[in-house]
Structure 1
């Protein structure tokens, strides 16, 4: 891991880093040291490691719970180089949307997710290896994952494959090809559903929730579209991670 910048603000220490060609960011409390629980946050499609939906969760996790929080850029986003195949698939999906076609029924949609996952899941595991070697994180404390929308799509795959992750907040996704992966998840899960989600029909989302193999899983359903997740769900996720990951 190579630290490329370090800043302090409002009690939070922010470090931008690279691990090979993986760009990421780590937030920890500005004061204090020693190992602490780590929460990985996956950003949504078209966003990046410091997108609003990442920062709005990361900062409260640090200040309220004393957690370390990390995010990395998905292929073709943020500080990553352009990914030609991702760009091609996204352009095709946008053309279908402009024509009024449901993008989630297009063949490009699963192809896009497979393309991103093929690189991002191993990159997350590489990042986790490196982060747990830092004194401010350590390898003895629990790890959680938070991801909605594309962050949820990638999160189901990652949590199913990575035994070091002990709790997850997922949602805003109902991809049928994730059913088998969801069945392999056994850790506690808080799962979010927007009742009027334009791109994720509620029946599909609930089917994916039902497939989760977790003995402890909770479905949070709220009215509104894909981007209308109530802010109080952040507070709920804080309580969820505090319960399952403990404190610093």
Structure 2
């Protein structure tokens, strides 16, 4: 990841400052700074052996997933850092962490600003668009499937949160992996979409952690979080 992190020095600085609401959050970088089409390979063709095999994996999981797995997948359709509350503990909540919350709103906004343009270029159909047999249990989406935005943002949040609280690194990263995999459980993504999302999230996080504007807000958010958690 160092080769990607080294690119940070040449990236354009964006406007900093805390956003009052998630919808107003400004991304730290966009696809003009990190072009995923230059990093990731293109998705496999719709009629390829790989896509057919992956579709089989989605359908197998569809008949083997439990009600609890479905419940978790539906809950994880929400893209925010508070989905890590089950590993962070009861003190981890939006009401007591306003600066931390605003900071992660910007992290989430960054995912969309980098990933969505790449999705629009590749336009990989989602499983339910290729087969009527696929019945997602999460909200349907017709945006491009490659890479998974949820896997990207889950990985980003996990890496950044684990950097803030290294004492819980193993639990946080395991939760990030579950968050990403739940898009396959939910029937809305292929496994390879998730892998590409993990790569994308790792690249974006590595770049962000080397940006002065990001690290300035990161330190404020980290301090607030660790104080609130009594660390």
Same fold (TM over 0.5): no
For CA contacts below 8 A with separation 6 or more, give which structure has more relative contact order.
Answer: 2
- Relative to total residues, which structure has the larger strand share, 1 or 2? 1
- Relative to total residues, which structure has the larger helix share, 1 or 2? 2
